[in-house]
Structure formats: structure tokens, C-alpha cells
A and B are shown apart, each in its own frame.
Chain A
Amino acid sequence: MRFNLRVKNRVAVIGAGLTLFRRRLLETPQEMVWIAASRALEQAGLDFRDIDCVISGSAPDAFDGVHLKGEYYSEGAGVVGKPHIRVYVGGGTGVFVPVAAWWYVASGLCRRALVVAEEKMSSAAEPHPQAVFRHIWDPLVEKPLNPNLIWIFALEMHRYMHKCRVSKEDIALVSIKNKRNALDHPSAQAAADITVDDVLNSPMLVYPVNRLDISPVSDGAAALVMVSEEWARRYTDNPIWVAGIGFTLDTTSWTNRELSFPVYVRNAAEMAYRMAGIDNPVKSIDVVEPYDPFDYKELHHLEGLGLAPRCGAAKLTREGVTARDGDLPTCPSGGLLGVGNPIAAAGLMKVAEIFWQLRGEAGARQVKNDPVTGLAQAWGDLMQAGTVIILRR
């Protein structure tokens, strides 16, 4: 792969905002976007009128039940008369939105961009929001088997456990850590102080996946303000720069590959590291928000990102390296397991967390290693899309 990574214009994040993440919110998608966007603008010191482009992301329209979701919710982001771009790569969308915003601002087309992500999963009420995922499978060779979404994760998790000799107890430690971290997050839906036994004794859904191995279904929105260097200097003394972006895709044929290692993350990470000039990610990345819709995914993704040796992330977790006060604070926000999983908004929440951590504004969640460089990552679709963003102060 060869990319033009020598882009002249620097792009900064100067504000972030979130709604509450909850199983059900009263607010409509438009209102949720309005709340998150207003909060991000407030932190940045801008007004909706100052924004010249809106970049947004959301998961399948079938959740909200409005089949022009982007055009529907974006009025809550003050879109009227402005270019609006909606991007989508399944669960990878939340990190893909600021990646897309980067290319619009870095190119010079947009100077002050509002970046929003939204999900209203509660609308897909019956029989369960998860039923929407019945329509992501290959319609001809997989859907006729009547699969549940959790099958694919359970199959990947069990392959990882088998290949890497990782136990369910080891994996449960991720859920415990993230739910505990989320106790300090004001938007959190699933914060809790739980034990390994709580995870192992929670309802068994698809072995090896128990209920508490999984993030919840959520409503929520997230927003960032991303601007050109010139504008960043006018608004703030501590802009957080986008140092690298990566996004790659594999095929939907997920049953034809070694599921124990996420190549889809590695490819995207390599792209982002090259752009950020990072040769040794373990040394360079001070704080990380890998995508954790399931607890094993945090381990899997740390390895894909090269932040843990292959099959070595469980050991780092056991030894406390990934704790908030460890050498590699991982999901200090509480992640999807703790804060909640309004799909696209959850990914963007991770980028917001890295932004606040690098600014030293994460409050009770602030990591102790005075971070300079942080990374957020998400994954999407049938084990195929990786999205990565690296921020630096």
C-alpha cells in the first residue's frame, strides 16, 4: 500500500461533547445530535454559525427506523445550507467520522467542521434491537441458517481463546476494568463494580459469551469540533492534533480467515502509524481506546494495534498494565462495556476521551502518565473494517 501521507494542512480537535448514553432516551435523533453538538461547540468556543461543514456517521438506518437517517438527524447539527457528508463502516463508523472530517479539513475544503455521530437503537424495539443485525449476514449462504449476531463474536472469541490459550476468567477482567472505569464517566450507562464470578455467572448467551461479556444496547450521540491550524490557534492554546489516520477494508467472507488475529485492525494501524511517524507503538502511544463491544475484543484489538504481543494482551491486563494508572491505560473512559454502545456514537466517544485525556481534562478518569499521544480504534462489519485515529498534543 502506498499513500500520500505528506499532507500540508494540520487538523486539530478543539472541542468534544456527549449526551448521556442510556438504554432509552426521550430525545429524538435530531435532539440528541443537537445536545452533543451544542456541548462540543461550547467547549470549543464556537457557535453553529461558525461551522462550514458537517461530517456525520450512524449505523444501519434500521435502528432509528428512518431510512434517510443522516439527512434526518443532521438538522440538529446546524446543517442547513452547508455541505454534509455521512460515512459508514458498521461499528467502525464512530472512528471513521473524524477520519473523514480530517480529509475535508486537511484538504482545505472545510476549515471549521462539526463532527457528529448518533444512534437511537431503542426505536427498533420489537423483538429486540439485535434483530436488526439479522440483515448483515450474507443473504444467501448465512442468513438461511438463522444466525444470531452473537454467533460471529462467539466464534471469533472461542478461536482466540483456543489459539492463544486465554481463559474466560482472563477475558472477564476486561469487562470488570472497563465497567469500573466508567463509574467516573458522567454519560455512563453500564458502570458497575463487578467480579469475575459476576461475569461468569451472568446469563450464558452463546458459549463462550455471557451477558456481561457484552456492551449494552444504547441511545446516544457524540460530537467533536475539528478545525484547520489557523483557526485552532485563534480559539485555543492547547489544540489536540490529528497525527495519523488509518482505515482499511477486507471482504465480507469472514469464515475464510484466521479469526484469532485482527488483520483488519493491523492494516489500518500500520497506515496510521506511518502517517504519525511512529515506529514503535508500544513506546509512542501513551493512552489507548481500543474498540470493546465485547471484552475479548479489547485484547484482540490491542494485539492488532501492536500494543500487545500476539496472544499477550491477557497477560498485560492481568498485570494491571492496561489499568487507568498502568503503563498503557486502556479504555480509561470505561469503553463500550461501561459507558455504553450507541454504535457510531460509542466510537466517537472514544475519540472524545483521547482528546480530553491529552488535554488533561478527563477529571476523575485522568490517566497518570501525562499522555502526549493517544489512539482510538474501532472495527466494523463482518470482521473486515478497521478504523484508527492518532491524536497528539
Chain B
Amino acid sequence: MGMFRLRGGTSLSDREFREIVKESSEPRARYSMTAGQAYSRFFEGLKNGVILGTVCDSCGMVFIPPKIYCPYCFRSVSRWVESSGEGKVFTAVASYISADVKPLDKPEIVAVIKLDVPGYRFDNYRFPGIMHRICNASDEDVKTQRIFDARVRARWLPKEKRTGSINDIECFEVV
């Protein structure tokens, strides 16, 4: 293939890579995101210690976090509903690394929580579920799968510390 010896490409070791890097940049983009109609009210709810959702009367699905439309029925949702703040662990893991792959001192337990909404029942095909931390469980609880289906309840930050964020829920605790 001409004057360059291309083969299938030229592999570099980590050291070679560092030696030949010609350009290094650190793009700094700060994003400021609006929360929209549904999430704005959801975050207001969190500030007040309530997990809000919206319901589609056509299929009976509850959306937590809320949506203004039902993505399955292609129509507007019908009304607001409240979760009891309790639910069941649908799946859980123990993270030993941070977001940028640094080791953590203590594993973080993370779960998908299937939330209770009084007056509504859901199968496991589709349900109102969110990802969050579990604060009073160990990695052993995860490895033994004891934690599956455990009942959990939202633990809230003190009211004065809440900012209208998903982190106003400090974590979910096994009850």
C-alpha cells in the first residue's frame, strides 16, 4: 500500500504511547440542564420528602421518574401519583470502583428498586423503578443474593439540606 508500511496498524505500548503523544487537550464544557415539566415537579417533591410519578390510565403504567407522555401508548399521562417511598430490591451489585475506575475504600451497594405505589400493582415486565444506593447492606448480602426482593425504604437528607435532587434521597435502607 504505497510508501507507508501499514500492515494492519501499529500497536503501541503504554510507554510508547506517552512518548509520541503530540496533542493533549482537556475540553472543559459545563452543561446547565433544565429539568423540564415532569422532572421539575418530581424534584420539588423530593425536596418535600415525596417520590412523585405519573400514571397512564390506558396501560396502567406508573412512571417514576415521571414522564409527561406514555411512551408505550403514545398519549399524555393521566395524573400524578405518589410512591410510598418503599419498594423491593429488583437487582443489586457491589461496586469496588468509582466513576472513573479508581478503587473505592469501601464497596458501594447499588440497586434497582421496584417502587410501591399504593393502589397499583406491577408485574416484573414493566414497573416504576429507579437506581439508587443501599446504605445498610454489605457486599456479602449482594453475593449471597440475600438482598434480592428485600424491602427497602427511602432515607431522606434532613429537610434543610435538600436541594431538589435525586441525592435528597440519601439512600434506601433495608427494613
Contacts and interface: CB of A to CB of B under 8 A. Distances in A.
Given A139-B33, A142-B131, A145-B132, A155 B125 contact: no
Contact of A26 (B12, B95, B112, B139): B12
Nearest to B20: A26
A155 B8 contact: no
A27 B25 contact: no
Nearest to B96: A204
Given A27-B9, A139-B31, A141-B166, A158 B92 contact: yes
B96 A206 contact: yes
Nearest to B165: A144
Contacts of B124: 258
Interface residues of B, number: 61
Contact of A147 (B9, B11, B125, B131): B131
B100 A255 contact: no
Given A139-B33, A140-B35, A35 B6 contact: yes
Given A24-B14, A147-B131, A259-B112, A35 B95 contact: no
A256 B51 CA distance: 15
Contacts of B42: 141
A375 interface: no
Nearest to B90: A159
B37 interface: no
| Majority secondary structure of chain A interface residues (helix, strand, loop or mixed) | mixed
A251 B101 CA distance: 27
Name which of A140, A150, A205 has the most chain B CB atoms within 10 A of its CB. A140
Given A127-B102, A207-B143, A148 B97 contact: yes
A22 interface: yes
Interface string B2-18: 00001111111110110
B101 A206 contact: no
B43 to A, nearest CB: 8
B49 interface: no
Nearest to A148: B99
Interface in B22-47: 24-25, 27, 31, 33, 35, 39, 42-43
Interface residues of A, number: 59
B80 to A, nearest CB: 17
In the complex, the 8 A-B pairs of residues with the closest C-beta atoms, listed nearest first: A159-B91, A154-B93, A26-B10, A20-B8, A19-B9, A255-B129, A127-B100, A207-B94
Given A27-B6, A259-B112, 10 more contacts: A24-B17, A27-B10, A35-B6, A131-B99, A148-B95, A154-B95, A155-B93, A208-B93, A253-B63, A256-B127
Interface of B: 1, 6-14, 16-17, 20-21, 24-25, 27, 31, 33, 35, 39, 42-43, 63, 65, 71, 90-102, 107, 110-112, 124-133, 139, 142-143, 145, 148, 165-167
30 contacts: A22-B9, A23-B14, A24-B14, A34-B6, A35-B8, A35-B9, A122-B17, A140-B35, A142-B131, A145-B166, A146-B98, A147-B99, A148-B100, A151-B131, A155-B91, A155-B110, A155-B131, A156-B91, A159-B112, A187-B8, A206-B95, A206-B97, A206-B110, A207-B139, A208-B93, A251-B71, A253-B63, A255-B131, A258-B124, A258-B126
Interface of A: 18-20, 22-27, 31-32, 34-35, 38-39, 65, 122, 125, 127-128, 130-131, 134, 138-142, 144-148, 150-151, 154-156, 158-159, 161-162, 186-187, 204-209, 219-220, 251, 253, 255-259
